[in-house]
Amino acid sequence: MILHLHLVRHGLTTFNKYNRLQGWCNAPLTASGLADADRAGHKLEGYDFAAAYCSDTSRAEITAKRILDINEAAGHARPELTADMHFREQCYGYFEGQDMSLAWTAAGGPHGAKDYNDIVAKFGLAASRDFLKEADPFHDAESDEEYWARVEGAFQLIASNPNLKDGDDVLQISHGNTLLSLGHRFGGPDLDLSERPANGSVTVLDFDTTKPFSQAVTIVSYGK
C-alpha cells in the first residue's frame, strides 16, 4: 500500500525566532507562525485527507487544527487528528531551550567541530545526535539510534491504521530537524539539504507500508 504523506513543518514559534533548540519542550506560535499554518492550509485545501497525525506538542497540534479548519471549509470531510509522542522532534535533553550556537559548540567542541554544520560536514548527521547526548550531563538527549527507533514507530502507527487504503493522502505535522533527517536518509544526491525546510512548508513523501522502513520512503518534493 502506497500512502502519500504531506508533512508540514509547524508554524514559527518564539524559540524558532530566538534561535533556541526546541525538541520536546513547547514554545507558543507567534503571529507569523499562525500565518504559516494558514498558508500551508491553503496550499493543501484541495486534498481529501484520509487521516491526520501530529506530535503531542502545542505548536504541532495548533498548526494541524488550523490546516484542517481550512481543509474542512473547502468542503472536505475532516479526519480525526491523532497526536502522538512518536511524531515529536528530536529530544535535546539538557540542551532544550538553549541557544543553538552554544549547544552545538558544547556538542562538537570535544570532537574538533565548531558548530552544527561543522559536525555534520565532518562526521555526518547521526553524529550530531550522538555528540549532543554525550555532552548532555544527564544523557537525556536522544542518540541517533533512539531517535530513529521512535520515528520508525510513527510510521508504523500510520501503517497500522485499518481505515487507510492504497493511494490515500495523509496529513502529518512535522518538525524542522525531523524533515532534515528524513531528507538526509531518503533523499537523493541532488536534494538541497543546506537548510531545514521553512516553517509552514510542505514536504511530500510516498510511504510504502509493505517494505522495511529503510526502504519504505521516497521523497516526492521537499520543503515547498
φ and ψ at residue 73, rounded to 5 degrees:
-65, -25
**Per-residue confidence (pLDDT) for residue 189, from 0 to 100:** 85
**Per-residue confidence (pLDDT) for residue 190, from 0 to 100:** 86
Provide the pairing of β-strand 217-221 with 202-208: antiparallel
Give the global pTM.
0.96
Reported confidence tier of residue 3, pLDDT bands at 50, 70, 90: very high
Q: Tell me what percent of the residues of the chain surpass a pLDDT of 70.
A: 100
Reported confidence tier of residue 140, pLDDT bands at 50, 70, 90: very high
Q: Do 97 and 68 contact (CB within 8 A), yes or no? A: no
**Per-residue confidence (pLDDT) for residue 196, from 0 to 100:** 86
- Residues 15 and 58: their CA atoms lie apart, in Å, by 13
Dump pLDDT digits (tens) for 78-88: 999 999 999 99
Mean pLDDT of 87-96: 98
The conformational region for residue 223 under phi > 0 = left, psi -120 to 50 = alpha, else beta, is left
Least confident of 2-6, 73-77, 191-195, 205-209: 191-195
**Per-residue confidence (pLDDT) for residue 107, from 0 to 100:** 98
